[in-house]
Amino acid sequence: MKFQLLFLLGLLSLNATAERLLSEVEVFSSAVNGKVEMTLYGNTEVFLDEVPKDRICRIHCKAFVKAQDRVRGKTEKGTPLYDESGKLIGKAEKATYLLENPDSNGIPYFFYLRGYVYSDRIDTKTIPELVLAQKLKEHKGRIDSSALAPFLAKFNFTYAADTMGFHLFEMQEEDYLRLSLIFQNKQLVAIVPTRDLELSTFTTKLETPDALIYYLEELREEEEAWLVGYFRVR
């Protein structure tokens, strides 16, 4: 069976491209003494700027506004907010100027929503770094491709490379690479995160100017050198 077929084992999982809110939440303008700018409803998908560590975390997403709800080129208190598909995701709590949507077939106006929410309103099951760390803890730091197949499918990993005996899977989010997993002989041997990843078990942690690499298995010197070089040129 080809390595790409791992995804078939995870097809029953809900594919996730963003984090999801557990319940209704107010979006603040700053982490300390911020004003409420928006209200977002439960199950809304947002992007986190970082893996939550504190009581407050920063989020962003696009919010769309229908033509009949626009008032003098902006929102007002109570203006309904939608996602790109037209699903109602919240309401405005203040005036915000709107941009024209370049997609003529979509909702005509939008703005970039950025702000802070309470971290406990984010569904941790939709944060890949936390899910991966928990899976590794459950498997005592050793996990194979079959055990990770649902995880790969849920978070939309793509098969990126097959070389030097490695199989590389990558998770893209928006326009950047968020997380890379490296397998060898169907065993997860290395992880390259671009956000905070707290692991309880790993062999070596290598920090380079271009990447942070967690090694879960001992690799040959030339294999480690190849991985460092691969992520240097990304």
Average pLDDT over residues 83-96: 97
Q: What pLDDT score does 7 carry?
A: 43
Phi, psi for residue 174 in degrees, rounded to 5: 55, -120
| pLDDT tens-digit map of 143-163 | 999 999 999 999 999 999 888
Average pLDDT over residues 134-140: 93
3 contact partners, CB below 8 Å, separation of at least 6: 145, 159, 162, 167, 183, 186
| pLDDT tens-digit map of 184-211 | 999 999 999 999 999 988 888 999 888 8
DSSP assignment letter at 47: E
More confident residue, 209 or 96: 96
Burial class of residue 133, CB neighbours in 10 A (0-12, 13-18, 19+)? buried
233 contact partners, CB below 8 Å, separation of at least 6: none
Beta bridge partners of 58: 116
Q: Under DSSP, is residue 86 helix (H, G, I), strand (E, B) or coil?
A: coil
Average pLDDT over residues 223-232: 89
Query: Domain map of the chain by residue range?
Result: 3-14+125-232, 22-122
CB 190 within 8 A of CB 227: yes
Look at residues 161, 157, 196 and name the one whose alpha carbon lies nearest to residue 177. Answer: 157
Share of the chain above pLDDT 70, in %: 92
CB 181 within 8 A of CB 199: no
CB 182 within 8 A of CB 166: yes
Q: What pLDDT score does 167 carry?
A: 95
Q: What angle is formed at CA 156 by the lines to CA 150 and CA 160, rounded to 5 degrees? A: 105
Share of the chain above pLDDT 90, in %: 76
Average pLDDT over residues 132-144: 93
Per-residue pLDDT band at 234 (split at 50, 70, 90): low
| pLDDT tens-digit map of 4-57 | 444 444 443 444 568 999 999 999 999 999 999 999 999 999 999 999 989 999
What CA–CA distance (Å, rounded) separates 82 from 80?
A: 7
Q: What angle is formed at CA 106 by the lines to CA 100 and CA 108, rounded to 5 degrees? A: 30
pTM for the model stands at 0.87
- When the pLDDT of each residue in the chain is averaged and rounded to a whole number, the result is 90
